[in-house]
Amino acid sequence: MQGDFVVVGGGIAGVSCAETLAFLQPEKTIILVSESSLIKTVTNLHAITKTIVSFDVKEAPSNSLCEKYSNISIVHDTLKEILDDKMELVTKNGAKIKYTYLCLCMGAEPKLIAQAEQFPDYIIGIRDTDSVDVFLDKLKHSKKILVVGNGGIASEIVYKVQDVQINWVVKDNHISATFVDPGAAEFFQDSIHSKTPNAEPISKRMRYQEDELHKSGAALGPDWYKSLVLSGSSEKQVTIHYKSEVANVAKIDNNEHPIEVTLTNGEKIICDLIVSATGVTARRNFKTTGMLHYSEDGGVKVDEYMRTNLTNIYAAGDVCTANWQWAKHWFQMKLWTQARQMGAYAAKSMSGHLNGEEILQDFCFEIFTHSTKLFGYKVILLGLYNGQKLGNQYEILVRTTKSVEYIKFVIENHKLQGAVLIGDTDLEEMCENLICNQIDLEPYGDDILNPDIDIEDYFD
């Protein structure tokens, strides 16, 4: 087999890469190597602001791509080895595929706590539909679970899981530290212990639709729990253990709860199940002839065109690490939105390089944006929302109304550098403009967050 472009991985990065290539290069052949018969596709794309988009993510049979684009063909197989000196790849089933350009979109896998290898039945991670099935099954029989991690997945589990005692182990001194500061964590306190999670606010963001019959191997995304009953067999109770990590796990015999966990602060907790939501690490389940360069976090290093160090091999999504000089207000996070943006941009770069065209980096890499939901609230993060990269030379302005909204502006030299918008604030567009245009806010002083003044009027 031979493709002008070969893309490996049927997750959001691989599919957006293949679709963008099909659009830009309708005369060229594109081969998508996908482990499964299902792929992730984006539908209902809607721009909330210039850089924040909402979209639905659907699982679809991979042949739907071939029906839509006559120049895409699918190979159901797993990449085993890249013979980069011959511009050829070899699959698990022994197929050989020649490429002119290759894009690696194999995603990542959960980075579990060290003890997981020893106790695979009791320590699990959540990544794809298979792992959720395992989780649901084990949860049904659990009275006490331990959740380790302080990012989006851990926060969602603590909020959504019902009828179980939860010990939540976080290494920071406040919860959900990946996304919010201690002030916002305080704002969420009431919701954490809520036994009946808030009614879902109207969601402007992407929604993953579960397909009961098929598994795709790709990462789950937002709202993965939407159609699931996440329920244990006890009364819900949440205890948070701050500034601690798991030091040791031991099996205890003849006990209703078979696992004993010792935390780094010496505390001991017994439980039935441990959910390790402690980040991801790029998939490295293939070999290369030449030496592929990886970054310290395990991702394949890519330059500003999403190129790896090996000739004509690109990478996008969770598998890669952005190794270029980032714009001031952007940084990488392994997120659905970035996987989609990188996949499409890698396609533009490969197509541009083939045509010998100049490639300008996409505007989406100018500012970090993330739209999510935490503890039932809509959350929008913009730019350097936690003061990332700013050292100590910045101010924070906060406006909050209990159970309604939490707005935080990060300001440096009177210019907005980042914002956290929790609740239905409708400030995302204005904040995006203030960050991108670096408008001087000195004349407005603290009034910028005065609730009696409609600040959007200032910037009409």
Ligand X SMILES: Cc1cc2nc3c(=O)[nH]c(=O)nc-3n(C[C@H](O)[C@H](O)[C@H](O)COP(=O)(O)OP(=O)(O)OC[C@H]3O[C@@H](n4cnc5c(N)ncnc54)[C@H](O)[C@@H]3O)c2cc1C
Residues that bind ligand X (CB under 6 A): 8-14, 33-35, 78-79, 105-107, 126-127, 152-153, 216-222, 224, 283, 285-286, 317-319, 334-337, 339, 372
| Pick 9 or 387: Cβ nearer ligand X | 9
CB environment 252-275: b (16+ within 10 A), e (fewer): eeeeebbbebebeeeeebbbbbbb
Q: How far is the CB of 426 from ligand X (least distance, A)?
A: 21
> Tokens at residue 457, please?
């009027």
Q: Which of 346, 343, 340, 310 is nearest to 81 (CA)?
A: 310
Q: How far is the CB of 372 from ligand X (least distance, A)?
A: 5
Q: How far is the CB of 71 from ligand X (least distance, A)?
A: 20
Residue nearest to ligand X as judged by C-beta position: 11
Q: How far is the CB of 53 from ligand X (least distance, A)?
A: 11
According to DSSP, the β-strands at 300-302 and 320-322 are parallel
Q: Which of 195, 202, 150, 172 is nearest to 373 (CA)?
A: 202
> Tokens at residue 200, please?
């879902």
| Pick 60 or 105: Cβ nearer ligand X | 105
CA 365 → CA 89, 179, 322, 368, 436, distances in Å? 30, 19, 10, 7, 11
- Measure CA of the first residue to CA of the last residue in the chain; give whole Å: 56
| Pick 41 or 412: Cβ nearer ligand X | 41
| Pick 168 or 224: Cβ nearer ligand X | 224
Q: How far is the CB of 44 from ligand X (least distance, A)?
A: 16
Q: Which of 196, 195, 192, 227 is nearest to 209 (CA)?
A: 227
| Pick 33 or 292: Cβ nearer ligand X | 33
> For 161-300, where are the alpha helices, taking DSSP H only?
182-192
| Pick 161 or 219: Cβ nearer ligand X | 219
Q: How far is the CB of 253 from ligand X (least distance, A)?
A: 33
Q: State whether residue 460 is helix, strand or coil.
A: coil
Q: How far is the CB of 216 from ligand X (least distance, A)?
A: 5
| Pick 260 or 362: Cβ nearer ligand X | 362
> Tokens at residue 29, please?
């052949």
261 Cβ partners below 8 Å, 6+ apart?
A: 146, 167, 246, 248, 249, 268, 269, 270, 271, 274
